[in-house]
Structure 1
Amino acid sequence: MQSAELILGLLIAVAALVTIARRLGIAYPIFLVIGGLLLGLVPGVPRIEIDPDLIFLVVLPPLLYIAAFFTPVTSLRANLGIIGSLAIGLVIATALAAAAVARALIVGMTWPVALALGAIVAPPDEIAATAIAARLGVPRRIVTILEGESLLNDATALTIYSVAIAAAVGGSFSPTSAAATFALAIVGGLAIGVAVGWVIAHIRSRIEDTPVEITISLLTPYAAFLSAERLGASGVIATVAAGLYLGHLRSRIMGADARLTGRAVWETITFLLNGFVFLVTGLEVPLLLRSLAPALAMRLVGIGIAVSLVLILVRTLWIFATVAVPQLIRGRNDAPRPVANALVLSWAGMRGVVSLAAALALPTSLPAGGPFPAREALVIVTLTVIVFTLVGQGLTLPWLIRALRLGADVEVRGHDASARQRLLEAATRRIHELYPVWPGHRPLLDRLRETYEHRAEHVERQREDPASEEDRELIEHREIKRAVIDAEREALLRLRTEGEIDDEVLRNLERELDLEERRMDA
């Protein structure tokens, strides 16, 4: 009962802190970590014992799946070279660098244990970075690279982590075996993920029941993750592969109601899971440090900060060496302002959920008996890295983006306007074709034609000047429509109050108004 009350209290804190964060214009993961730190300083706050399986098996699969589901496959494919470099090469380099620093600073730490720490802190989490980037309108290519990197780097890091833990526990390490394990994890995960996606796609294409579809959607990441893990492959890669596969097919296998309702369900679940993890991350730091001698606590925090600085340095050097410099040498124009883009990518390497999960999943003891070496130090260093990168880099990333003037992605607006124009042209052609088919409905067709022609005028303005803000006339139109819908809602509630309709009628009509308002705001 006490645990249930504690979880309820944490979720209430998440809702309150996120509300404040959005009013302050701060990415909510950052503010939740800060809020957790402050809550952890309050006397009497109980320490939360988190089962590692809760993070790995309950939290991680849905977060990976839905991120992959909404990742644009075309953009991912176009940037696959850079993403692969960051997700594999940079993760390996980062893990080795962090391991070297940790081994030098923590007395008696062996290479396998140090490498486990390196693997834990190697993969960045894109949640805070992409939230900031989306709010400030940075070039879509940067967001795609960050999302793609975050999808794939977890598999690399967790494979290194598994090999390092096996060596630390068993005392042996074979490069050949490690390479084979890595290859099996990647290839097997891809195959299993696509297979699960194919099966789910065929099932969902034959179902027109929204609650059932959403239930299947919620179970899909676990089906991919657990199947792969059971067969010795990467559950992370399998989940990502299933998400990418089904996300690419979503327009064909899902109806409108399933897409609208499913998106709302997934947004809520993602929000709660991320919120819980980031709040607990901040909460754990002061509670853990309080259990240590002050001198040791300060030393471990200092090591965590040193590791964080190394992570930032390695990421910056890698990105400039593999992304910015080659573009400058070749003089390519497909990615303008390579130095500015590289700076933002370098500074967006914040750590998050996967690092926390891996740290908490460290074994507590060795098979031969005795505690796992330096486990407490690894957990505290990891938490310090997460907090330092999230708060330090997260709070300064908006300033960097503004200073580099990377906001207002004109290219995306231009593509959006062009796509809208094509849709309007197709609709207008179809309306003209329907005149002889439905001669008795000319007034309706006339109104539809006028509506689409009016929309085309607004789209044309956007195409002519993609960098301009939304025109005032369109904003006023929305305000007028919203006022009309509000009047309908008031009348509907009045009818229910006066007893002329029951709640079922109210819900049906209210849903129509909600859909109309949502269509207006889309």
Structure 2
Amino acid sequence: MLQDNLLLILSLLFAVSMLGLLSEKLKISYPILLVISGLIISFIPGVPFIVMDPNMVFIVFLPPLLYAAAWNTSWADFWNLKGPISRLALGLVIFTATGVALIAHFMIPDFTLAMGFLLGGIISPPDAVAASSVLKNLKVPRNVMSILEGESLINDASSLVVFRFALLSVLTGQFVFWRAGVDFILVAGIGILIGIAIAVIVYAIHRFLPTTPSIDTALTLITPYIMYLTAEHFHYSGVLAVVSGGLFLSYRSAEIFAYDSRLQAVTVWTVLTFLLNGTVFILIGLQLPGIIKGIGNYSFSAVIMYAVVISLATIVIRILWVFPGGLFTNFVNRKLKRKTVKLNWKSVFVIAWSGMRGVVSLASALAVPLTLTNGSAFPHRSLILFITFIVILFTLVLQGLTLPFFLRVLKIEEDTNDEQQDLEIRFKLATAVVAYMETACSKEIAELSVFKRVKERYERMAKIADDSLSAGELSSPAFLKTYRQMLLEIIAVRRTELNKMHKNKEYADHLLRAKEQELDFEEARMRK
């Protein structure tokens, strides 16, 4: 039994890796390809029927994925854009849940309003991974990505709270609005406090104890689970505990990690998040046979109609909320004279169209109990599951595949001042080094040629950066493309020469590998 389960897990991981490779070749976002592939695989004769356990999703998959998202989110961007982020993560979730509840209540026979809110809470949060993976290799303004990333950190928590209260209302038949509001504040607020409290302890361990890169990396893997499980144990928001703790530690990562710990942790987390995300999305596709089996009591044409209407409604509701929200954000920024990038209608459209649903929605639907408190079957449970699955598939495929097309048609440009800011950073770092050496190493510079050459090197770096800034070369896109291409070609020449040295066995292997790693880092920086 253990061997069979292990073989199944390894087969899934292998399939995720191969399909991820295929997605790179086909230039399709891997969540989309994995879900479709899961659908196809599920109908192959002999493939074992796999049931996704919602507890596995919430306990095993969700904490590290949220932690990784929080770690990669800029706290400065998150705070500067807290207005539009909160309107999406809180306001839009409630608006979507309400809209879906009303549509489902009036469209589906015997579907109560409480059950409508239950369905709305399930399908209201867009999936962070789907949006970021679709936009990863596309030119998107930085503030748009920051808003989408920030939204994805919070909307899972707000949607799960709506789901819990709606489920309680269905089970007990009671709902008190003011009590739900107070409970929401407590669940969210104390969850945040728990996450920060644990983050402070972890910060102290990293900062003051003699850790190694392996211990640091291991602690980063353990931390999100401690945050999530602790908060959930006391019935508070584990999602917000992980998010708040992750943002706290991410903001202070420069203080607590040495270079080798950072490099090792980034490598481990990159592989881990890819495998976890990939496994989750292929599991979504594999759920279809079981979900279809459960809707035997309904007319298939009717449930398809319900699912498509609600899928379209979730897209339209997001558009109706986001466009006025974008205008409101620009109005507030103008009135308060904030120095933030204005959201033009193209950027607002990208935000509105990036509403792909994912794993949290399906896990929530699967978490709906089989029976009510009186022992009778939970009404419309299989229908809720089917609608949720179709919403995920519909939004992933329709919006995920068309988003790159819209970006090309609208000719949306990424931020143009990144190169200028990069040169400014280089200039300031180089001048700081020159100033330090003139003060601390003046005698060595005068007497030793090696010290003098180091100082001259940084003086040249500062001059090159200053000349480029003064000449205004960065305003030309053609210059940027040519300049970057030239640097990449130089790296390729150095790599070819290094490979010749390796084949000829001219130098020690560990020295050549060290130089190869230097080139890898340099090329990665250039391609970023």
Fold conserved between structures, TM > 0.5: yes
> Structure 1 residue 465 and structure 2 residue 474: aligned?
yes
2:433 alignment partner in structure 1: 427
> Structure 1 residue 110 and structure 2 residue 109: aligned?
no
- In 1, the alpha carbon distance for the partners of 2:413 and 2:22 equals 24
Aligned with 1:369: secondary structure?
Answer: coil
In the alignment, residue 33 of structure 2 is paired with which amino acid? F
1:40 equivalent among 29, 39, 42: 42
Computed over aligned residues only, the root mean square deviation of the Cα atoms, in angstroms, reads: 2.5
CA 427–173 in structure 1, closer or farther in 2 if over 3 Å, else same: same
- In 2, the alpha carbon distance for the partners of 1:208 and 1:488 equals 37
2:77 alignment partner in structure 1: 75
- In 1, the alpha carbon distance for the partners of 2:6 and 2:467 equals 55
Give the CA deviation at 1:470: 5.2
CA 474–400 in structure 1, closer or farther in 2 if over 3 Å, else same: same
CA 309–420 in structure 1, closer or farther in 2 if over 3 Å, else same: farther
Give the CA deviation at 1:30: 1.3
2:122 alignment partner in structure 1: 120
2:243 equivalent among 218, 240, 243: 240
Mapped contact 1:421–1:460 kept (Cα < 8 A): no
- In 2, the alpha carbon distance for the partners of 1:303 and 1:424 equals 62
Give the CA deviation at 1:120: 0.7
Aligned with 2:51: secondary structure?
Answer: coil
Mapped contact 1:285–1:384 kept (Cα < 8 A): no
Alignment deviations for residues 328-356 of structure 1 (CA, whole Å, 9 cap, x no partner): 79598843452111111100011112112
5 Å-filtered alignment, 1:366-385, equals: 366-385=372-391
In the alignment, residue 174 of structure 2 is paired with which amino acid? S
- In 1, the alpha carbon distance for the partners of 2:251 and 2:344 equals 29
CA 293–373 in structure 1, closer or farther in 2 if over 3 Å, else same: closer
2:487 alignment partner in structure 1: 474
CA 365–295 in structure 1, closer or farther in 2 if over 3 Å, else same: closer
In the alignment, residue 255 of structure 2 is paired with which amino acid? R
Alignment deviations for residues 165-213 of structure 1 (CA, whole Å, 9 cap, x no partner): 1111122111122112100111101111111111100001123311111
Aligned with 1:364: secondary structure?
Answer: coil
Alignment deviations for residues 7-36 of structure 1 (CA, whole Å, 9 cap, x no partner): 222211111111011112111111111211
Alignment deviations for residues 352-383 of structure 1 (CA, whole Å, 9 cap, x no partner): 12112211211122222122221111111111
> Structure 1 residue 387 and structure 2 residue 386: aligned?
no
CA 369–294 in structure 1, closer or farther in 2 if over 3 Å, else same: closer
1:12 alignment partner in structure 2: 14
5 Å-filtered alignment, 1:185-196, equals: 185-196=187-198
CA 346–407 in structure 1, closer or farther in 2 if over 3 Å, else same: same
1:498 alignment partner in structure 2: none
- In 2, the alpha carbon distance for the partners of 1:405 and 1:8 equals 42
In the alignment, residue 57 of structure 2 is paired with which amino acid? I
The total of aligned residue pairs comes to 511
- In 1, the alpha carbon distance for the partners of 2:79 and 2:329 equals 19
CA 162–452 in structure 1, closer or farther in 2 if over 3 Å, else same: farther
- In 1, the alpha carbon distance for the partners of 2:191 and 2:504 equals 55
1:518 equivalent among 495, 517, 520: 520
Mapped contact 2:31–2:133 kept (Cα < 8 A): no
Aligned with 1:465: secondary structure?
Answer: helix
TM-score, structure 1 as length reference = 0.91
In the alignment, residue 478 of structure 1 is paired with which amino acid? I
Report the more deviating stretch, 416-425 or 210-219: 416-425
In the alignment, residue 123 of structure 2 is paired with which amino acid? V
Report the more deviating stretch, 230-239 or 421-430: 421-430
Which blocks of at least 5 consecutive residues in structure 1 are unaligned? Answer: 496-500
1:167 alignment partner in structure 2: 169
CA 397–436 in structure 1, closer or farther in 2 if over 3 Å, else same: same
> Structure 1 residue 310 and structure 2 residue 313: aligned?
yes
In the alignment, residue 453 of structure 2 is paired with which amino acid? D
- In 2, the alpha carbon distance for the partners of 1:17 and 1:383 equals 21
Give the CA deviation at 1:519: 2.8
Mapped contact 2:128–2:148 kept (Cα < 8 A): yes
Mapped contact 1:40–1:287 kept (Cα < 8 A): no
2:406 equivalent among 388, 400, 417: 400
Give the CA deviation at 1:456: 5.8
1:264 alignment partner in structure 2: 267
Report the more deviating stretch, 294-303 or 6-15: 294-303
1:319 alignment partner in structure 2: 322
Mapped contact 1:431–1:445 kept (Cα < 8 A): no
Aligned with 1:350: secondary structure?
Answer: coil
Which blocks of at least 5 consecutive residues in structure 2 are unaligned? Answer: none
CA 207–470 in structure 1, closer or farther in 2 if over 3 Å, else same: farther
